[in-house]
Amino acid sequence: MLHEFVSSNREELVRRCRSKGSARDSPVFAPAGLDHGVPLVLEQLVWALRCEEEGASSGRTPAAVEISRTAALHGSELVAQGYTVGQVVHDYGDIGQAIAELATELDAPVTVAEFDTLNRFLDGAIADALAPYAVDRDQTRDEQRRLLDTAVRAFAALKVGDIGLEGAAGQLLEQSLRKLRALIDRSPPP
């Protein structure tokens, strides 16, 4: 059973994921992400595989709902820590590769159905973990547009009127441009 294999080889799988993550030139994972995220994902994978084995594979099982919730929470934590989408995808991909490689090396009796469950689990976890990135990206884009619109309006008022740069419109323009610069500086590269 794959869940027993993952449980009994957990430390080796974490070690392999850490090695894969640190071997990447860019982006590089902080050890905290690996030390917290990988064990969490492996624990949830074992739970999902057990549920699948027990026949709870139809629909959204409590395990699937909890995994989805936890993956989204983990994704939010990674966003807050400044991780990129690529880092999250690689993290989950490394887990799948580590399991497949170790199972092959040890000639573990893993069925095709179990590998299918593994892939479904990882695909769903990636999608759920990346959802916070989309929300964060949309909020950042909205804030950038709002600040840019304010700056354009303040500039238009300065152009048309007899207002000096030291007035309210000038201050509004300067403030909007400073906030826009700070927002762009905080944004991850495309």
Q: pLDDT tens digits, residue range 34-82?
A: 556 778 888 888 887 787 777 655 455 666 667 767 777 777 777 677 7
26 touches 13 (CB < 8 A): no
Alpha helices by DSSP H, listed for 24-61, are 31-53
Same domain flag for 50 and 94: yes
Backbone angles phi, psi at 161, to 5 degrees: -90, -175
Same domain flag for 61 and 33: yes
Same domain flag for 132 and 144: no
pLDDT, average across residues 85-110:
88
Same domain flag for 41 and 87: yes
Q: What is the pTM of this model?
A: 0.66
In terms of residue numbers, what domain contains 181?
A: 138-186
Backbone angles phi, psi at 2, to 5 degrees: -65, -35
